[in-house]
Amino acid sequence: VNKQYSFPTQGGETRPSRCPDNSAFKQQKLPAWKPQLTIATVLPSFFLTGAFCLAVGVCLILVSACLFLSQIDYSDKCSDCSKLRENSSNWNKECYCSVNFTLKEDILGDVFMYYGLQNFYQNHRRYVISRSDAQLLGRNVNRSYCAPFTTYRNGTPMAPCGAIANSMFNDTIDLFYNLNSSAIQVPVLKTGNSWWTDKNVKFRNPKSYNLSSAFAGTARPPYWHKPVYLLDEEDERNNGYVNEDLIIWMRVSAFATFRNLYRRVKRIRQFADGLPAGNYTFRISYNFPVTKFKGRKHVILSTVVWSGGSNPFLGIAYVVSGTAATLTGFVITAIHLKLRKKKTYFQK
């Protein structure tokens, strides 16, 4: 009874022996691997890393060398159209322009068509947050994060809402193959260009018996020419929110210069192996104004391999770091040998 009474608890006269455990953990004697970063252990790793990087780098360079890439800036070539678009009151006037180019060789394999934008700050924070994923999932949403493109003054909600959707790229680019003075339209695929999960899970149309009724009570975004349920009138499964042009646009780019996949060449008839050599024409319906923010527009044709598109960076980076690692390896060896000689000299 009295033991509990003493106020500072450690003041007792008798205390039980507190001999500690003898476990390896408590004695900090757990069996352990004790690596040391000595020259002997590190040298091989430098050479190995160097060799590996060089090998990969050379492979990458070789692979990307046989890739095809053609990038055409059409914002100047269509100067008439771009001037027209500078004035927003002309928004419903159609404007077409054509861009010619020549392929000297056949392009074999899958050919991808991209549109590219420059100086378009898709990654600006105000822009990035102005979207509603819930709406694009086909849900009915009350709360919205789409400012300043949420509703019209009269309260009609925009579908899809937000600055991203509102500014969707709306040029139409068709590719023609000029064979013997007759222009053959190159057949292209509109679908299968976006992530499978985006197309099938992340973007859903509201449920209704038909698409236009699903979007009843909503209005198109102010900069659009047509409502969302008319994005692709030919293909029901590529219409509304699940339209792949919209899906791809909605994936905001990381930088102000970016390209998005637009179409793939459908490999049928004379295009079964890719694009044959010859003269081609891009026929562009010019809708998207870029001059106001000093932007540029490109159209790009490219083939793709496993290591990505035709970006030389990876290959060069691998080669450079491989070379650096190998050189460093040699330098360290030299230092090591020099020091060892000195040491043995002293020992003698």
Partner 1 sequence: MYSVLEKHFSYGRRKLCAGEENWVDSRTIYVGHREPPPGTEAYIPQRFPDNRIVSSKYTFWNFVPKNLFEQFRRIANFYFLIIFLVQLIIDTPTSPVTSGLPLLFVITVTAIKQGYEDWLRHKADNAMNQCPVHFIQHGKLVRKQSRKLRVGDIVMVKEDETFPCDLIFLSSSRGDGTCFVTTASLDGESSHKTYYAVQDTKAFHNEQEIDALHATIECEQPQPDLYKPLGSENLLLRGATLKNTEKIFGVAIYTGMETKMALNYQAKSQKRSAVEKSMNVFLIVYLCILISKALINTVLKYVWQSEPFRDEPWYNQKTEPERKRNLFLRAFTDFLAFMVLFNYIIPVSMYVTVEMQKFLGSYFLTWDEEMFDEDTGEGPLVNTSDLNEELGQIEYVFTDKTGTLTENNMEFVECCIEGHVYVPHVISIPFIFQEREDLFFRALCLCHTVQVKDDDSVDGLKKNQLSRRSCIYISSSPDEVALVEGIQRLGYTYLRLKDNFMEILNRENNIEKFELLEVLSFDSVRRRMSVIVRSSTGDIFLFCKGADSSIFPRVKEGKIDQIRSRVERNAVEGLRTLCVAYKKLTAEEYSNAQKLLQNAKLALQDREKKLAEVYEKIERDFILLGATAVEDRLQEKAADTIEALQKAGIKVWVLTGDKMETAAATCYACKLFRRNTQILELTTKKIEEQSLHDVLFDLSKTVLRHNGSLTRDTFSGLSTDMQDYGLIIDGAALSLIMKPRQDGSSGNYRELFLEICRNCSAVLCCRMAPLQKAQIVKLIKLSKEHPITLAIGDGANDVSMILEAHVGIGIIGKEGRQAARNSDYAIPKFKHLKKMLLVHGHFYYVRISELVQYFFYKNVCFIFPQFLYQFFCGFSQQTLYDTAYLTLYNISFTSLPILLYGLMEQHVSADTLKREPSLYRDVAKNALLRWRAFIYWTFLGVFDAVVFFFGAYFLFDNTIMFGNWTFGTLVFTVLVFTVTLKLALDTHYWTWINHFMIWGSLVFYIIFSLLWGGIIWPFLNYQRMYYVFMQMLSSGPAWLGIILLITVSLLPDVLKKVLCRQLWPTATERIQVKYFFIVKVVFCITSL
Q: Which of 138, 145, 191, 274 binds partner 1 (CB under 8 A)?
A: 145
Q: Residue 288 CB, nearest distance to partner 1 (Å)? A: 9
* Cβ proximity to partner 1, 110 vs 198, nearer residue: 198
* Cβ proximity to partner 1, 85 vs 177, nearer residue: 85
Cα(81)–Cα(237) distance, integer angstroms? 32
Find where tokens 């099938």 sit. 200
Q: Does 15 bind partner 1 (CB under 8 A)?
A: yes
Q: Is 297 exposed, middle or buried (0-12, 13-18, 19+ CB in 10 A)?
A: buried
Q: Residue 329 CB, nearest distance to partner 1 (Å)? A: 10
Residue 233 · residue 79 · CB < 8 Å: no
* Cβ proximity to partner 1, 82 vs 177, nearer residue: 82
Going by C-beta distance under 8 Å and a sequence separation of 6 or more, which residues neighbour residue 62?
Answer: none
Q: Which of 58, 183, 219, 317 binds partner 1 (CB under 8 A)?
A: 317
Q: What are phi and psi of 71, to 5 degrees?
A: -120, 125
Q: Which of 7, 209, 345, 346 binds partner 1 (CB under 8 A)?
A: 7
* Cβ proximity to partner 1, 21 vs 105, nearer residue: 21
CA proximity to 167, closest of 128, 141, 197: 128
Which of the ranges 53-61, 74-82, 172-180, 227-235 carries the binding residues for partner 1, by CB under 8 A?
Answer: 53-61
* Cβ proximity to partner 1, 93 vs 251, nearer residue: 251
Question: Binding to partner 1 (CB under 8 A): which residues in 238-277?
Answer: 248, 251-261
User: x/- binding map, residues 148-167, to partner 1, per CB under 8 A?
Assistant: xx-------------x--xx
Which of the ranges 93-101, 180-188, 239-247, 303-311 carries the binding residues for partner 1, by CB under 8 A?
Answer: 303-311
Q: Does 172 bind partner 1 (CB under 8 A)?
A: no
* Count of Cβ atoms closer than 10 Å to residue 219 Cβ: 16
Question: Is the bond preceding residue 157 a cis peptide, omega within 30 degrees?
Answer: no
First to last CA, the chain: 77
Give the strands of the sheet with 182-185, arranged side by side. 96-103, 278-285, 172-179, 182-185
Q: Does 346 bind partner 1 (CB under 8 A)?
A: no
Q: Does 328 bind partner 1 (CB under 8 A)?
A: yes
Secondary structure class of 229 (helix, strand, coil): helix
CA angle 125, 131, 133 (to 5 degrees): 125
Question: Binding to partner 1 (CB under 8 A): which residues in 77-136?
Answer: 88, 114, 116, 120-128, 130-134
